[in-house]
Amino acid sequence: MSRQVLGTVTLCGVKERGRLPVAPNRKARHLYVVLDTVEAGIVLVGNEVKSLRLRRATLSEAFATVDNHEMWLHNLHIAEYAFGTWTNHAVRRTRKLLLHRAEIVKWEQIVHESGLSMVPLALYFSDGRVKVELALVRGKKTWDRRHDLAERDARRDIERALSDHIKRRR
């Protein structure tokens, strides 16, 4: 039996180990201040999992809500599985998140009282199961974003100057 290996994943029935990233949400850390994070499971159908293994997902417009003490993920785009049949899934359907009841109630109270939002930061496989890193966030103001960009540019200039100085000494 031949085995094809992709990073930490083996495609021959052997259980995978570790964390295999599927889709990061790079925009979230730019637009929001992350206050707290939690790892949640997600309810999917078979073709969705197959599509995620091909890394065909987008988190850029996704957000989470709590309805009837259940957490739901909206606007997560998982592309249709190319080799699927009439049983393919809806691309942007609402998906249920799996968390302990106490965590859901705690986050529901915080969001309701303080007006914060819940945004997914990453979608990944953890030991063969699809997980979502969900964050409790507050929106950044325009000046916050400009300040972060200025800090990043300053750090980059400092690192560049240090590396130039080290190269000259050699």
In the chain, where are the structural domains located?
5-139, 141-170
pLDDT at 7 over 60: no
pTM: 0.72
Report the alpha-carbon distance of residue 132 to residue 113 in Å, rounded: 24
Contact present, 159 and 166 (Cβ < 8 Å) = no
pLDDT 10s digits, 18-70: 788 888 988 888 888 899 999 999 999 888 888 899 898 999 899 999 999 99
Residue 13 is given by DSSP the state S
Residue 107, pLDDT > 50, answer yes
Architecture (CATH level 2) of domain 5-139: Beta Barrel (2.40)
The 10s digit of each residue's pLDDT in 73-103 is: 999 998 888 887 777 777 788 999 999 999 9
Closest CA to 53 of 84, 86, 99, 98: 84
pLDDT at residue 5 is higher than 50: no
Instruction: Please indicate whether residue 92 or residue 134 has the higher confidence score (pLDDT).
Output: 134
